[in-house]
Each structure stands twice: as structure tokens, then as C-alpha cells.
Structure 1
Amino acid sequence: MKKIIELKQVYKDYPLAGISQTVLHDINFEVVPGEFVAIVGPSGNGKSTLLNLLTGIDHPSSGQVIVNGAALQNLSNERLSLWRGANLGIVFQFFQLLPSLNLLQNVMLPMDFLGKLSKTQRRQQAMQLLERVGLADACHRLPSQVSGGQQQRAAIARALANDPPLIVADEPTGNLDAATADDVFDLFAHLRDQGKTLVMVTHNETLAAAASRKLEIRCGRIHADTPAVAG
């Protein structure tokens, strides 16, 4: 079966007080299209570092990171940016919406960058995505004029803008109250049901239980890799 993610003998080192510290040790795993993988484990054990390698934000010290056929460690920053725009949707804990742009403009940004659609088509696509996440009526508001939950839903719409094969999320409910987190959880469950490939770092047990697979990271190593069991 085709693999959308392959990590082979991946190590990541960082200098700390002049000494090299290994944050990830010999990481090997694969993800096939349509999987929903929850990356779990205690804070400070390498989960977000692993996610940064999958998105090309950071590079491995050694080993291979292959995502949707591209060996990310071999791409220049310019090629990585183009690859990311076409292949990846990223959802951050703190939303990362541009404050001077309204929600519609924020969702259009990835399409503007890729430049494959006309301006009219981009606007139509962005409106459809905002409608899908329940924000059509708020499309002309700035991020500061809507709630945290609405900002996260807009960020999910932005991640879907170019219909990427892979959605990666880093603690997408970590900055939300429980009720709002449930709304965001429902959106991810819907994406799972549509067959999107999702890889998500989360401490939210409900969100992790909705995944098809749990990858537990402890001390920079894969401690367990198991099918998730909904509670």
C-alpha cells in the first residue's frame, strides 16, 4: 500500500550549553493514506519536534523523512515552501491567523501562495470552507473580533484551502475551553470520516480516542504504536 509518511532511522539533536542533546532517537514509522494518527505522551518528550520534522519546519540530524513522496531533508527552503503549500495543511495551537486580515482573507492566503486558481475561484473556495466550519457569517471579521474557538475553526478551514492530502495539527484544542474543544473535535472527526490523513499531537483524550492509531513518544523514542480504542 502507498505510504504518505515514512520516517527511517530519524535522529534529532540540539545543542544545549555547548553539548549536543539527542531529542529524538531512531524514529521509524509509516502512515498510509486515510489514517488518523494521534501522537501522545508527556510534555517535553519530543512530540512537537517530531511534528516539525513531518512539516519540514525542522530537519533531522540524520535519517530520512519522506512525506507524500518527497524527501524533505533534501529540499531547499524555497522548494519546501512550495511543497508545503500543495501537500500539507497545518493547524497550530495558537491559530496563527494574520491579525490584519479578515477570516476570508486568512483562508484565501494558501491559495494565493499556490496561485492555481483565479481570484474569484479562491474567494468562492474560501467561502465554502468557512461555511463548512460554520463561519460564513463571520467571514469579514478580524481574528480579534471572534472567539478562540472560531479562530481555530478558521485555522482548520485555512489548512484545507488547497485540499492537501495530509493535515497536521499541534495541540489544536490545547488553547480552548472544553465545550469549544468539543466543536473542534467534531470537525476533525468529520475529516477522519471523509478519509483525510490526519497526524495530530494532542493531550486531549477524547481526540486521541477518535484516532485510528496512537503513537506514544517517551524520552524521544516510540514507546508504543497501537490502534486507538474509543472509550
Structure 2
Amino acid sequence: MRLSVNIDHIATLRNARNEFDPDPVEAALIAEKSGAAGIVCHLREDRRHIRDLDLERLRQAVTTKLDLEMAMTQEMQEIALKTKPELVTLVPEKREELTTEGGFDITRHYKTLAEFIKPLNDASIAVSIFIEPEQKSIDLAKKAGADIVELHTGIYSLKKTDDEREKELEKIRHAALFANTLGLSVVAGHGLNYRNAASFSRIMQIEEVSIGHAIIARAAFTGLEAAVKEMLQLLRREA
């Protein structure tokens, strides 16, 4: 299983003092050197962490895969077409949320979504949609032109007992299998950490997990290189 590292909260820490350190680009390079298969950043409308210049510098520096998480807006589409990350992941976004709270409402936005994706596809930018692990959403993602679905694991991460987690994991497993039958690649993310991520390596249809907050938090004590390597060891241990 591959690991993509979200470096947003390196920028959060930097922005707390509105200075230059720590540098998200330096964090991305350390993560790549430590075994990450990709770097994720979320350019939000309010620029609360990653900023436009960060994205430009990341595009120049990242050699694995740059995944730009973004809302489905005209501004973000234009930025993506200019920056040309390898991957765009469409996520819902609300100003008042602390972090993304759930999957993209693909049923409500399907018509607009299909029109939004086409220019990205035409520019050879792969498109992923962050959705709930449900067959209807997966089917609509495929029809809209997505290449990848990222299954929302936030509900799984909040479960309290082993039985509850296993039940939610089975739901995610079935969703991943269905997505594969449609020809979609599958990744997973949100709320995954050093206590709950390893189980995903048992789901062969999931190629990659995206983890940010947990790794950056661990890095405060161990350093980023060690934090990334520890997560990779956990993901490979269950395989």
C-alpha cells in the first residue's frame, strides 16, 4: 500500500506566526525521501494553511505526485489548470469547518461536476472525488469522468469498538471492490492515524491512503522522517 502525506498542517504551524518556518516544501521533500508516494495539499478558499505561493513551489519541488485538494469552484479550476498537479481531488468545503466533514455530495452536484471535470481531463490532470463509501456515489463519480475515488474513512475513525470498526471496514471494502469493477482506482483517507490505519492494508482494492494530521502531530515528537517511516511500517505489517 502506498502512502500520500498531507502537509497542510506544516503551513498551519507556520501561519501561526506568519513567518517562514516551518516550510511546507521542505516537509514535502522530507516526506518523499522517507518513502511517501505523493504529497497532498488543500488550497482552501480562505487560505487558512496552504497558500498560492506554496502550491507554486510545491509544483516545482515535488517529484512523486502532487495531489491538489480543492473545492469545485471556477477559481480553483483555473489554478489547477495553471499549476498542473498530477492529481486533483475534489472535496466539499465550508468556511466554518475545522476540517473536511464528509464526502462530496455527488448526487446534488452531478451535472455541474461532469462539466467541471472535463477541462481537467483535457489537460491530462487525473481527477479524484472524495466521497462516502456508497455504490451510488461511486457510480456517479465514474459517469462524471473521475479516474479515482477517495473513500471517506472519517466514520470508521470515530468508531469506538473493534466490532464497530470491522463493520465499517467491511462497508469500505465492498465499496472499493465495486469501484474496481468500474475501472476506478481507489484510495482512502480522513481521520486515519497510527492506531487505525494498518487495517486498510488488508483491503487489496485500496491502493493508497492519504494521511496528514496524525503524521504531522507525530513528527512534533519524532521528526517527520521517522513519522513517515513509522506509518509505512504499520501499513506494510498487516499485508
Q: Give the alignment's TM-score, normalised by structure 1.
A: 0.45
Counting helix residues as a fraction of each chain, which structure ranks higher?
A: 2
Instruction: Name which structure has the greater RCO, CA cutoff 8 Å, separation 6+.
Output: 1
Q: Give the alignment's TM-score, normalised by structure 2.
A: 0.44
- The structure having more radius of gyration, on CA atoms, is 1
Counting strand residues as a fraction of each chain, which structure ranks higher?
A: 1
